[in-house]
A and B are shown apart, each in its own frame.
Chain A
Amino acid sequence: MRGFVVMVVLNLVMFVLPAQAREPAEVVKEFQTVLLEVMKQAESLGYEGRYERLKPAVLASHDIPFIARLTVGKYWKTFSKEEQALFLRMFEQLSVAAYAGRFDGYHGEQFTVLSQKPLPRDKVLVETLFTKANGEQLHFHYLLRAVGKDWRIINITVDGVSDLAVKRAEYTSLVKDQGFSALIDKMKEQISRYANGR
């Protein structure tokens, strides 16, 4: 009986009561906290474990469908409905795989949120500092857009290099020169590279 009451309360909290709106910086901070936890347990979790732990965190903090459509630009409309669905699925897998594959250990790294700056058209820029144990620092600038009453990351710029701009150039060039199937093949290839630790 007590279990039933707990379930009802939990369901109420999760689905009925309105979700507390998060600050953009909180969205980034929550994601980075999970990322650091996964990095600390990288070895025991293994690639699969890291992937499973990171997937919900990536989906809760990034606007994956929006980023995916941006990376292929005007070519999105040239894809059939099935191709669009396949591309979105592959992009989601690749986004999680990139984190799970690249953040595969912990050596005393730290994330610090430095600032949150509002931008036109419902955008916010959150600046964070990634500090390695040897003191080396990298500036991560997260661009977030408002999604309903919450915020989602749509781009990460690391020391001046925008992930979205690079991906958009790569993806559009691939579709233009080699077509949709080549793009999907390359994405699959990359996912398996991350899974195999290469």
Chain B
Amino acid sequence: MEGRKGMRAARFMTVGILLCLWFTFGCAGTQPRVETYDPLENVNRSFHAFNTKFDEIVMQPIVDAYLNLTHEHFRLSVSNFFDNLTYPNVIVNTFLQGKFVQGASDTGRFLLNSTLGVAGIFDAATVFGLEEHDEDLGQTLAVWGISEGPYLTLPFFGPSTVRDLPDLGGSILTNVFTYVGTPVLVAGVTATAPLALLGIIDKRARADRAIRARDQLALDSYVFTREAYRQRRTFLIYDGNPPVEFYVETDTIDEGILELEEELAEEDQAPRGDAPLSDQDESVEILPVGGDQPLRAVPSLNGHGTDRSPTSVVPKIGHDIYTQPPSATSSPQ
């Protein structure tokens, strides 16, 4: 009885903390995307250090053994199986985002792979042209206009944000394993435990190359993980097909480029005194567009056409995403 009360109190406390986080940050409108916006950095860094150590001591040796001892085809079948098991999460969120055609295709994909694909071991649906998509509750909330909220590092789970947090619960509710595995486990059959473990190993093995790349590339492993995670999530919210401005306006990059170009122009001009503007680039036509942003003629691929598209703004992922919803088309990831 005491234990049940304790569990209930703990559950209320967890929900309370999540709601506080949500109301404090998640629903605070569109957060300015400044490069250092990370209010929970100290706690996150501690968990990041813990996760890295745990991964190094426990997971990496297991994954190394798994990669060395198993054949690529076996690993692909394992990944297919677990992808299929969790695919109802994709279906539900596809519909929740209003993508009905994609939702129908995803449902067909799940049914086909569960039957013809022998419980998902073979990806038969792709052969029939039913592409795999990547949707989850975090992406759905972004499409609904909820802002990202602070970045979080969760013990064992790794990178997340306040907006992505509810997906942890959602993905359990939509996982086939929850409904098939749990009753079997309760009945005393322990065959599901190794299967669950295999699922964890498969997930970590799939991330292995990315983790190794991070370890090679990062000067600061925590910041690298945070930035890569947030950008990758934005990319997925756009279904891997963001507007072209996404590539210039990621976080503060566009601002930084503009500032630096102005500084360089000043530095160039300084020693020359009153050097005419045309000295900088005689092929340039400067047009006043939308304020003080100069635009220049840019050649097309064949060198004939020009484009003077106005400075545009990528919809921030959050409340104003509906002003330009992401395309319904997806590219396979």
User: Closest B-chain residue to A69, C-beta based?
Assistant: B260
Interface residues of B, Cβ cutoff 8 Å to A: 35-36, 213, 216-220, 223-224, 226-228, 231-232, 234-236, 240, 242, 244-245, 247-248, 250-253, 256-258, 260-261, 264, 281, 283-284, 289, 293-296, 298-301, 303, 306-307, 309-312, 331, 333
A1-9, A36-44, A80-88, A167-175 - interface stretch? A167-175
- Tell whether A161 pairs with B231 under 8 Å between CB atoms, given A121-B261, A168-B252, A174-B220: yes
Which of B216, B220, B248, B309 has a CB less than 8 Å from the CB of A170?
Answer: B220
**A120–B293 contact, CB under 8 A?**
yes
- Shortest Cβ distance from residue B248 to the other chain A in the assembled complex, whole angstroms: 6
Complex: A3 Cα to B226 Cα, angstroms: 58
User: Closest B-chain residue to A190, C-beta based?
Assistant: B219
Complex: A141 Cα to B244 Cα, angstroms: 10
Which of A119, A145, A146 has a CB less than 8 Å from the CB of B244?
Answer: A119
Complex: A77 Cα to B258 Cα, angstroms: 16
Which of A23, A101, A172 has a CB less than 8 Å from the CB of B216?
Answer: A101
Complex: A186 Cα to B295 Cα, angstroms: 38
**B283–A121 contact, CB under 8 A?**
no
Residues of A within 8 A of B248 (CB): 119, 123, 125, 143
**Restricting to A152-183, which residues have a CB under 8 Å from any CB of B?**
154-155, 157, 159-162, 164-166, 168-174, 176, 183
Specify which of B217, B295, B310, B331 lies most central, judged by the most chain A CB atoms within 10 Å of its CB.
B217
14 more contacts with CB within 8 A, not counting A122-B298, A168-B256, are A66-B260, A73-B35, A115-B301, A117-B244, A119-B248, A119-B309, A120-B289, A125-B244, A125-B247, A162-B247, A166-B228, A166-B231, A169-B227, A173-B36
Interface residues of A, Cβ cutoff 8 Å to B: 23, 25, 66, 69-70, 73, 98, 101-102, 115-125, 139, 141, 143, 145-146, 148-149, 154-155, 157, 159-162, 164-166, 168-174, 176, 183, 186-187, 190, 193-194, 198
Complex: A21 Cα to B220 Cα, angstroms: 39
**A159–B333 contact, CB under 8 A?**
yes
Complex: A124 Cα to B296 Cα, angstroms: 11
- Tell whether A121 pairs with B295 under 8 Å between CB atoms, given A23-B301, A102-B216: yes
Specify which of B247, B293, B307 lies most central, judged by the most chain A CB atoms within 10 Å of its CB.
B247
Interface of B is mostly: mixed
Q: Which 7 A-B pairs have the closest CB atoms?
A: A160-B235, A118-B298, A118-B307, A116-B301, A166-B227, A120-B311, A169-B227
**B256–A157 contact, CB under 8 A?**
no
7 contacts between A and B (CB under 8 A): A70-B257, A117-B244, A119-B245, A119-B248, A121-B294, A165-B250, A193-B216
**A23–B251 contact, CB under 8 A?**
no
Residues of A within 8 A of B35 (CB): 73, 168-169, 172
User: Closest A-chain residue to B331, C-beta based?
Assistant: A139
**A154–B257 contact, CB under 8 A?**
yes
**A170–B261 contact, CB under 8 A?**
no
**B223–A146 contact, CB under 8 A?**
no
**A121–B296 contact, CB under 8 A?**
yes
Residues of A within 8 A of B281 (CB): 146, 148-149
User: Closest B-chain residue to A113, C-beta based?
Assistant: B301
**A120–B295 contact, CB under 8 A?**
yes
Residues of B within 8 A of A169 (CB): 35-36, 223, 226-227, 251
- Tell whether A186 pairs with B219 under 8 Å between CB atoms, given A122-B298, A165-B253: yes
